[in-house]
Amino acid sequence: MKKSTRNMLIGSGIAVAGIAAVGIAHHYTTKYLMKLALDREGPKSAAKDKEKLMSSRDLSETVAAIMDAAKVLEDTEHKKVEIAAQDGTLLVGHWFWPENAKRIIIAMHGWRSTWSQDFGAIAPFWFDNDCAVLFAEQRGQGNSGGEYMGFGLLERYDCLDWINWVNERTEAKLPIYLGGVSMGATTILMTSGFELPENVKGIVADCAFTSPHAIWKHVVENNFKLPFGLYSRAARDICEKRIQAPSDSYSTVEALSNCKIPVLFIHGTDDNFVPIEMTYENYKACVSEKRLFVVPGAEHGMSYIVDKNGYEDAVMDFWTKNN
C-alpha cells in the first residue's frame, strides 16, 4: 500500500472516530438534559443542577427560612384530596377551607419543587385574608402520579380538572384565582387558553416562562453554555415520545392571545433561570386586562421574599378590582 494512501485511510479513520465520538457525546448529553427536565426520577445531580440554575448567590439563609415555612404549612390542619386527571393519572392536592372564605386560590408549584416549599412563605397572607386554598401537587412530582413532568403542556389540563373539582365542592359560589410560580405560573397561563367557568376571576403568575422549547433553549445556552441547535430536534422528539406533545406544541403566548380573564404578571429583575423578558413577552401577548409587578433585585421565585409589602399590595389591589 502506498504511503499516501495509508495516511489518507488513517486520517479518514480518525475523522470518522471523531465524528462518532461527537455523536455519542451529543446523544448522552441530550438524554441527560431531557432526563433532568422531564423525568420524575432525574439524574443523581438533579438537585445540585437545579440549585445552580436557580441562583447566582448564596441563599442558604433564605432557603432555610423557606423550608421552615414549608414545614409550618404542611403541619397546618387540612384535607389531602385526590382526583383522576383526564388521562387517568392520579393527582393529589391539599385543601385548606377556613370559615367565612371570601375567595379560593388554586396554587400550582414549580419544576422539581413542592407545594409547601413554593407557597409556605405566602400562605399566611392568603389565610389572613380569608382565602380557601387548593395546593396541587403537579404530575410527575411528589405524591401525584405520572413518570414525567409536562412543563405546562399536560398540567394545564390538570389545572382545569382542579377548577372543576373545586366548583363541584363549593357550588361555584366563590371567586377563584389561579396562582403559580415558575412552571406552575406557566401552567396557569396556559390554562387561560381554555373556556373557563365564570367564577374564575383572575390569574397571578410569578416568573412564568413562555414554552418548554423557549426555556430549554435559554437554559442550555445560558446556564449550560451549550449550543441548543445541536439538541433542539432531539429534545423535541424525546419530549413528544415521553408526554405525547412536542416541546413547541403550545405556549403561554398562544394561550394569552385568547385569554378572557385579568392577569397579574410578577417577575424579579435578577432571575437567573427564567429571564424577565419572558414575562414581558407574556404581558405583551395578553389580550385581557393585565398588570405587571416587577421586583428589582429578586432572583427566581424570590419576589415575595424580596418585596413582601409591595407583592401583597399588588395582589390585594388585584383581588379588590376583580372579585
- How confident is the model over 216-251, as pLDDT tens digits? 999 999 999 999 888 888 899 999 999 999 999 999
In a domain, 6, yes or no: no
Q: How confident is the model at residue 54 (pLDDT cuts 50, 70, 90)?
A: low
Q: How confident is the model at residue 51 (pLDDT cuts 50, 70, 90)?
A: low
Average pLDDT score over residue span 94-98: 97
Residue 262: all three cell numbers together: 385579568
Percent of the chain's residues with pLDDT above 90: 80
Q: What CA–CA distance (Å, rounded) separates 39 from 165?
A: 27
In a domain, 235, yes or no: no
Q: pTM to 2 decimals? A: 0.90
In a domain, 170, yes or no: yes
Q: How confident is the model at residue 45 (pLDDT cuts 50, 70, 90)?
A: confident
What pLDDT sits at residue 15? 42
Query: Total structural domains in the chain?
Result: 1
Residue 269: all three cell numbers together: 429583575
Provide the Cα torsion 289, 119, 140, 82; round to 10°.
-90
In a domain, 314, yes or no: yes
Q: Indicate which CATH number applies to the domain containing 84.
A: 3.40.50.1820
In a domain, 9, yes or no: no
The pLDDT tens digits for 124-178 are 999 999 999 999 999 999 999 999 999 999 999 999 999 999 999 999 999 999 9
In a domain, 181, yes or no: yes
In a domain, 217, yes or no: no
In a domain, 82, yes or no: yes
Q: What CA–CA distance (Å, rounded) separates 26 from 4?
A: 33
- Spatial strand order of the sheet with 79-84 comes to 79-84, 90-96, 131-137, 103-108, 176-181, 200-206, 263-268, 290-295
Supply the range of the domain harboring residue 44. Answer: 39-211+250-322
Is the CB of residue 91 less than 8 Å from the CB of residue 82?
A: yes
What pLDDT sits at residue 19? 35
The pLDDT tens digits for 178-214 are 999 999 999 999 999 999 999 999 999 999 999 999 9
Which string of DSSP letters, residue by residue, matches 50-101? HHHHH-SS--HHHHHHHHHHHHHHHHS--EEEEEE-TTS-EEEEEEE--TT-
